[in-house]
Amino acid sequence: MVARRRRAGRPLIGITGGDSRLPWGWWFAAAAVRRAGGRPLRITPGRPLPGDTALEGLIVGGGDDIDPALYTGEDNGAPAADPARDRLELALLERALGDGLPVLGICRGAQLLNVSLGGSLYADIRPRRRLTSNRRTPLARKTAALRANSRLARICGTSPLRINSLHHQAMQRLGHGLRTVARDLDGIKQGVEAIDAPFRIGVQWHPEYLPRQRSQRRLFAALVGQARRRNLRATRNG
């Protein structure tokens, strides 16, 4: 990525999504990034990343199902929900991971992070639920237990977390270099992180819709903080 001039202290954080007329996820995630001291940049298939722009962090947002062919290797004949978005986000993830940028995957974004690293998904987890409801809601109606001493646990500062749930797919086999760090009462993976990267985290819930929870705000603050520290190191070494 070719960098244009950056504003000191306010890292540029790309936030991906679909080309929706009511981009609720973007609005809430952008507010969370601004509150944390970053500069949000909306990226969609219709609004791709400008060629002269260098991201300093990446949030892959929630949305439509991921094309099953990307994680099964087989075309089942069903049309992909948003193939242009799949291609865009996979390309952005490849570049961000290659450049060592801090990455946060939210819901679909966590799933795509997993798929981009060779993992797979459950296409529909509703039959697997026993102790939790299939009801989809942006309100914090479920819980997730965090793995002790994980980066996610240290960031959020509390366990279990009160979380929301808007998904019917979930991570199955983990991608290369990831470990499970949060599960719900049914044992479904709710959070993953890279074993050997400072900030490469995927959460199955939507922290942007829970701004009143300090633990959720801290997730965005940690992302922006990692981007800022990375920039300072690059400046000193440059």
| Active-site residue set | 107, 206, 208
In angstroms, rounded to a whole number, what is the distance separating the alpha carbons of residues 153 and 228? Answer: 21
Burial class (CB in 10 A: 0-12, 13-18, 19+), 141: middle
User: What element of type H or E holds 59?
Assistant: strand 57-60
Q: What is the Cα–Cα distance from 228 to 173, expressed in whole angstroms?
A: 32
Helix/strand/coil for 228: helix
Tokens of residue 201, six digits = 């985290």
